[in-house]
Homo-oligomer: A and B are copies of this chain.
Amino acid sequence: MRDEYRVQLAVVGELLSAMAEHVGQAMREASRGLLSADRAAADGVLADHAEVGALRSQVEERTYEVLALQAPVASDLRVVLTAQHVAADMERMGNLARHVARAALRRYPENAVVPELTEVFAQMSDIAVRMADKMHTVVAERDATRAAELDRDDDELDALHRRMFAIMFAPDWTHGAEAAVDAALLGRYYERYADHAVNAAAQVIYLVTGEVAAP
């Protein structure tokens, strides 16, 4: 019974690790699509998107089986329920990467990001992808030292997000409402993506250390 439980849990862990890798790669490609008006990269994100939902469904099924057949209690039960929450966060990250890819395609062959904002978005996407990579490490290796790093990355991304608004709302902004709206929505996708990465990692770390990460 215990052996079976460990095997099942290892499978769930592998699924979560695959999800983390997938949503990181999706944001990497979506950002390439966005910043280089790279249609193939953005199309690839849409083509591969169903995989995230399929992985989440597998996590749901596997954890359901564990609960139904093994009836875990105490910390084992927490692990299983947390896996479900983490999978939900990562599915959402996949959706947000898809939003970025779609925004890139909507303006193709034009750039969806105006020149004044390219640098800010390049940095935001670097940080978002880096955060997904760290989240992957946390999920795959239960490396709790990464939690603090993710919080710092998130602060850095928030600062860039504020800088983006400052550029758009400055008197010398000449691109009008549509480019500003594109940027505001894109900024929100990156911000939410990062929030979910922090959240997913914090939940894994809670399992490892039993402590809630400082907000």
Residues of A within 8 A of B (CB): 64, 67-68, 71, 73-74, 77-78, 81, 84-85, 88, 165, 168-169, 173, 175-181, 184-185, 188
Contacts and interface: CB of A to CB of B under 8 A. Distances in A.
A132 to B, nearest CB: 21
A3 to B, nearest CB: 19
A88 B77 CA distance: 18
Nearest to A180: B177
A165 B173 CA distance: 20
Contact of A180 (B73, B78, B81, B181): B181
Interface of A is mostly: helix
Contacts of A179: 177
Contact of A177 (B68, B74, B88, B169): B169
A181 B173 CA distance: 13
Nearest to A176: B177
Contact of A184 (B64, B68, B185): B185
Contact of A77 (B67, B78, B188): B67
Given A64-B77, A68-B77, A77-B68, A173 B177 contact: yes
A49 B162 CA distance: 24
Contacts of A181: 165, 168-169, 177, 180-181, 184
Contacts of A178: 168-169, 180
5 contacts: A71-B73, A85-B88, A177-B179, A184-B185, A188-B188
Contacts of A180: 177-178, 180-181
